[in-house]
Structure 1
């Protein structure tokens, strides 16, 4: 049976398709369900609340921004599921609002009381003792006040630039002559959103950490109570928090690039000036203030979220970091497969038996050891690797640099287009180049998601190739969290395929077939269709 487009036509009914973005919302709803799960310990539920909001921020920065860009361009084409960009935005907001209402209600009515029961208090300023308030005001003057910059908005001073995901105050001030003016103060992102009162007030205070409690205040509350110091001689009529989300998706014209690294660097600089796609404001903010923000941010009321609660709850993750194991799930420790506990070196073990690792249940340590031993083994001649997201302070990078310094041939593809890791990857690409590593930045028009390592080693029988293939990144942190498979192998066909793929990535190749591997965009789709057709016949 030939899977022709004509044959498949009957399946192209929009009712047969899930909308990509509405489907993503359902995924984040599952994260919300974990946050609401009464079976989970308190701090784990707070962790999922943070993840829910962090996911949502990225969704607006990338997916919603793309839809709104289509609307601005007057695109009326429908997606595979039959929805126009306007309709998708409307349904996104319709489905999201009940989730927001539920999670904010849960935070206020369930989480806060449970935190209090466990001696973790997120306080209003009026709930603190005079001694604590005085200590916080001194802290404000010494540590916060010098960082703040009040920005006026009047004919001589244009509406200030507001950075992505930053929390700000919209402020109405009044001069002694009665004139009223609009101003903005940004809450510094370099400071924690929640301040530990017991850490700031160093000496013992009533209800302090001396009795095993933890007391926080929102930094915004402390700033708001001291706004008069930023506008001396003026009356603070009212001040309300707001937060914006910008379009941060990079639009890279790769076919016009002479230098991909330089092009991406320039695009990263432009990212902070992306269009505003969402404005979040406190419930109490008056209409005239909202209208001022909407007009100057060049958005509409359709981009507005009025929030009954604290803006940007992704920042509550710091509460999860408290040393309270009884309020968290038991820490999971991955196992190291028995084969890697033997005395032989890792190459002998892999050569004897291919090994499949299932992360995070199996430890990532054998993968790290594989790269480390390859960098230090005098018989290793070459290391080739693809890197997508390696994280900060990566030992993998350190071992690759060590290998190059030991005069081994090291070639690395660093994918510069890994979203939100572009700057980190540019940094690592340059560090590798400084050490003499052959660095490739990726292929034009494609993202290299394949995670591969090829080690070439001189042995008594001749040159031997070792391969590691993985669905997950070479990242020690995410390897403890995400479910992935990793394969160590010396299979001749697989090793030959991987060698040829690296030649394709670093050089020029028109190769169309491989022995065992399916390679996109070369033969993977074709192979999958063949396998599907085989299953239909059977």
Structure 2
């Protein structure tokens, strides 16, 4: 919505692009993103179990938002910081705005699940009941389950002068129990933690189902505990009980440039994280005011930090229902495909799904197969697009072949996040055992993956891999692999530069791009970038790569300004950029100036967007959409029209200050015309989306697109899955 101030401005007056009215608050913008995620749970076009999944994703996202963003705002308030960001909203006002925004959304989420989705589940013969809704025989079974399995694990904790208020772990479910001593008449408070070693939802065996058609029936674990409290407090009168849950700050307070040993320092901070300050208390609605006040006082909370909710707490656990074997209630299963170019390489794909047979293969096999793959990359640059293309048959294969190929001399790689049973790390270990020089940058500060990365770092170090933890003061977020190979008496460098993590599990859920190339300039640039990461190099110039924090901001601004100058000189200007987020004020201001000059700008921003589109005289020519659906849009693509000589880039960085100034990032130019065309078609598919696309309005709200009468539905993910299969069929490729 255009402000009154903006409407009163005279046409002749210059526009101050630093005015806060032209910038959205990033916390509220992120909440708008999560609201779009939640909408997938409300949308009847989404299959039923997928709707539960989106409920869970919304709740999980919100947990992280409180652990990081709200915790950060609270620290700013406690530190006396009064100044806001580009939008001008001070931290204290942001906290109030966050609560005001969230209360109706989370209230509706819980109402919708309890009153709508549970009924829809029942129609599919899936019954998530409360204990009191069960038949006596079913209750008897669960009471026995409690006595045999759960009771021995529980530790009820009293709260009285002799028993101080217990430590409550973050994100755990707990019962606050009011008990009365019948002898003294005194009322006491006790806490019972719901153990997380059991499933959250306990199923009944099939012989206790109400009919043969029932697929699943069960109850929440906390219900079983609540109806057996007498076993925990014999001789006492149970007055009432309420479920509650807390969220603690999870930000690591670490000065990396002062740490003698970064790995040890981060381990220590992780241990401290579990004792972080409490930033949110969730309680069941109807909790007695005195009990709520007691919880607030013991955890040093204000009313603004408390969320009273109906029904189940912790809807994150609804993920569990995705394990039910009910394909009719899920998205049609998608199998990532081997792209046509990679089908020229050895067809035995099963070897790259497991390492069990790899050790039986001889040197001749590895050399022949590697020659084929590396020869393919020598012929031309290749691009892969996950999850439409198989990560296992492309990226994982590239690294595995490099680990075993006798002609490969060295492998250098950045690891930001990877899976717990990572075949990538296993390949790097094998490479070191095969006598290759292996250097790996393991980013220990990848939030919530710190422990996993520490584990892999130690395993890699044990086999002789050169493990480094990055540049002091910076987080290494770039996704790159450099393979050095000896061929016919010369050294050739092969690279993979991607937008996503080297994680085969998330590669099936996250949409990402990767470039394979042996262009000498890219190989030389990556060599120098790894020298920065592993040594004391202060490289400031790169041939082709845009590298943060040294060249990326300057180069991106120059590309935007070039489009602006084209328009100012009567030539067309065009920018299309796809990212996770855009929050950097300097780049937003450059886009505003470009729009004022006549540049047509389309932004495809999944999450936070602090740019306000469609403001007369400021951003008339800027359009912003967000694509939300079954895959998490994660790739970054940048297109600049350049007066008919377009330039394309892909890489790891968003247009956020942290990516441009406080992280090591790499963005690569796409030179191959064929890949440029693929990127252009991909951008056009997303811009034409009328199913998954949401349009950002000038007032900060989003409006979902819908097909017009008679118009076919064009959802990006469905279109790209169909396109992938069509491409394989056109090339007479094998379809697994």
Give distance in 2, aligned partners of 1:272 and 1:511.
39
Distance 1:72 1:530 in 2: 39
* CA displacement at 1:22 relative to structure 2: 0.4
Stretches of structure 2 lacking an aligned partner (at least 5 in a row): 1-13, 346-368, 567-736
> How far, CA to CA, are the matches of 2:178 and 2:119 in structure 1?
34
Equivalent positions of 1:65-80 (< 5 A) are 65-80=71-86
TM-score after normalising by structure 1: 0.96
SS at match of 2:385: strand
Q: What is aligned with 1:350?
A: 377
Residue range with higher mean Cα deviation, 520-529 or 112-121: 520-529
Between the two proteins, the alignment pairs up a number of residues equal to 526
Contact 2:499–2:512 (CA under 8 A) maintained in structure 1? yes
The equivalent position to 1:121 in structure 2, one of 100, 119, 127, is 127
2:196 to 182, 189, 200: 189
Aligned partner of 2:323 among 311, 321, 325:
321
Separation (CA, whole Å) in 2 of partners of 1:427 and 1:388: 13
**Matched ranges for 1:6-85 at <5 A:** 10-85=16-91
Q: Is 1:466–1:488's contact at 8 Å kept on the other side of the alignment? A: yes
2:262 is aligned to 260
Matched, 1:168 2:170: no
Q: Give the drift of 1:9.
A: 9.2
From 437, 446, 456, the equivalent of 1:409 is: 437
Task: Identify the match of residue 429 of structure 1 among 445, 457, 460.
Answer: 457
1:443 aligned partner: 471
CA distances 1:25-69 after superposition (whole Å, capped 9, x unpaired):
010011011111111110011110000000001000000111111
Q: CA deviation at 1:211?
A: 3.5
**Structure 1 residue 282, shift from structure 2 partner:** 0.5
Displacement, 1:111? 0.4
Aligned pairs for 1:205-284 within 5 A: 205-207=208-210, 210-284=212-286
Matched, 1:528 2:556: yes
C-alpha displacement of 1:377: 0.7
Decide whether the 8 Å contact of 1:245 with 1:276 is kept in 2.
yes
Instruction: Report the secondary structure of 2:384's partner residue.
Output: strand
Shift of 1:109: 2.0
Tell me, yes or no, if the aligned pair for 1:404 and 1:437 is still in contact at 8 Å.
yes
* 2:105 alignment partner, one of 95, 99, 102: 99
**1:88 and 2:94 matched:** yes
Are 1:300 and 2:302 an aligned pair? yes
Q: Does 1:487 pair with 2:515?
A: yes
Secondary structure of the residue aligned to 1:356 is strand
- Whole-Å separation in 2 of the counterparts to 1:536 and 1:399: 47
On the 8 A contact 1:119/1:214 being kept in 2, the answer is yes
CA-atom RMSD in angstroms? 1.3
Superimposed CA distance per residue, residues 5-26 of structure 1 (whole angstroms, 9 cap, x where no aligned partner): xxx9931111111111000001
Q: Work out the CA distance in 2 between the residues paired with 1:339 and 1:212.
A: 47
Give matches, 1:509-524, under 5 Å: 509-524=537-552
Is 1:537–2:565 an aligned residue pair?
yes
Deviations 1:125-170 (A, max 9, x none): 2322222211111110111011111001111111000000011111
Q: 1:360 aligns with which of 365, 387, 409?
A: 387
What is the deviation of 1:284? 1.9
Deviation at 1:446, TM superposition (A): 0.6
Tell me the distance in 2 between the aligned counterparts of 1:333 and 1:478. Answer: 14
> Distance between the aligned counterparts of 2:443 and 2:29, measured in 1?
27
1:212 Cα shift? 3.9
2:533 counterpart residue number? 505
Confirm or deny: 8 A CA contact 1:47 1:317 kept in the other structure: yes
Return the alpha-carbon distance in structure 2 between the equivalents of residues 54 and 462 of structure 1.
51
Partner of 1:23, secondary structure, is: helix
* 8 A contact 1:207–1:213 mirrored in 2: no
Paired residue for 1:336? 338
Give the SS at the match of 2:337. Answer: coil
TM-score, normalization by structure 2: 0.70
Measure the CA separation in 2 of the matches of 1:108 and 1:132.
Answer: 22
Gaps of 5+ in 1: 1-7
C-alpha distance in 1 between matches for 2:20 and 2:76: 20
